[in-house]
């Protein structure tokens, strides 16, 4: 974590940021967050992330006293003060302290700057494995702080040599614990339409290839795909070459996936000046 953060209503040393132990963000796991990256001191796709954060606050009934422009200015000041050329920025709005210790209340806003590590280059050249699990994430369209289930699962998938999980339910896939999923078959690209977070990287990929079909995708269809990849802020576009013990396609990152990786890299460079 970088030396300075925004806590409640001012920039302070990160080591001094505190949260009351009775905040329902802690005792109930109720709160929202968002996370994005900087390149050359520029917060990538910032408008999209701020829109999602503000929307998440509204959907979870959490008061947010800062408008988009104010949040933008705070973030730019933190980037400058922390000399954050390349890194991550985490925004967090806690659930607040309510009279009944349950209902949403007026919470505290925190913005932290962090170092950022991407998956190793080998994972992009060889692809990664996902472990399947039957599950639908609650309030999937909102970026809440409730990651109890995947955090609990993470020890198991690491033992299996997996990068993450892929959720499926009633025969349909939805997403990974922290990423969106794309499936390629016979040159066509598909991504699930239900029970998913509308990721910002997902949005950029949809822009890169305007012919992507957003629709239900079967788990069996995914296993039989020619290519699979996952997208997120911290993974960008990461090829998936195995799910459980099933090889995807020829077991190597596919042509379309590699083309999108290159196109996304060029998009980022354009947006970072």
User: What tens digit of pLDDT does each residue of 193-207 get?
Assistant: 999 999 999 999 999
Collapsing DSSP states into helix, strand and coil, what is residue 175? strand
The neighbour count for residue 163, using CB atoms within 10 Å, is 20
Question: How far is Cα 203 from Cα 88, in angstroms, rounded to an integer?
Answer: 19
DSSP 8-state symbol, 16: G
Q: What is the predicted pLDDT for the residue at 272?
A: 82
Question: Per-residue pLDDT tens for 67-122?
Answer: 999 999 999 999 999 999 999 999 999 999 999 999 999 999 999 999 998 999 99
Count Cα neighbours of 30 within 13 Å in the Cβ-side half-sphere. 21
Q: Residue 235: what are its φ and ψ, rounded to 5°?
A: -110, -15
159-180 average pLDDT score? 97
Render pLDDT for 227-258 as a digit per residue (tens, 0 to 9).
999 999 999 999 999 999 999 999 999 999 99
Tell me how far CA of residue 266 lies from CA of 88, 104, 127, 236, in angstroms: 20, 42, 21, 12
Q: What is the mean pLDDT of residues 9-18?
A: 97
């Amino acid at each position: 974590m970088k030396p300075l953060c925004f806590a409640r209503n001012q920039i302070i040393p990160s080591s001094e940021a505190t949260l009351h132990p009775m905040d329902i963000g802690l005792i109930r796991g109720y709160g929202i967050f968002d996370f994005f990256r900087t390149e050359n001191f520029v917060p990538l796709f910032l408008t999209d992330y701020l829109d999602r954060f503000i929307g998440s606050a509204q959907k979870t009934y959490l008061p947010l006293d800062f408008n988009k422009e104010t949040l933008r200015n705070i973030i730019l000041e933190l980037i400058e003060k922390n000399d954050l050329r390349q890194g991550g920025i985490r925004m967090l709005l806690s659930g607040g302290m309510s009279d009944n210790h349950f209902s949403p209340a007026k919470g505290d806003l925190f913005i932290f700057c962090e170092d950022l590590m991407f998956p190793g280059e080998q994972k992009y050249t060889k692809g990664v494995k996902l472990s399947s699990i039957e599950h639908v994430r609650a309030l999937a369209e909102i970026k809440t702080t409730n990651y109890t289930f995947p955090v609990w699962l993470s020890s198991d998938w690491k033992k299996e040599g997996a990068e993450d999980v892929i959720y499926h339910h009633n025969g349909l896939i939805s997403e990974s614990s922290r990423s969106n999923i794309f499936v390629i078959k016979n040159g066509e690209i598909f991504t699930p339409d239900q029970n998913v977070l509308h990721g910002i990287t997902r949005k950029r990929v949809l822009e890169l290839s305007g012919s992507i079909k957003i629709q239900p995708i079967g788990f069996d269809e995914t296993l039989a795909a020619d290519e699979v990849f996952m997208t997120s802020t911290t993974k960008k576009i990461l090829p998936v070459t195995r799910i459980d013990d099933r090889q995807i396609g020829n077991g190597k990152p596919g042509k379309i996936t590699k083309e999108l990786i290159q196109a996304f890299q060029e998009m980022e460079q354009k947006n970072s000046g």
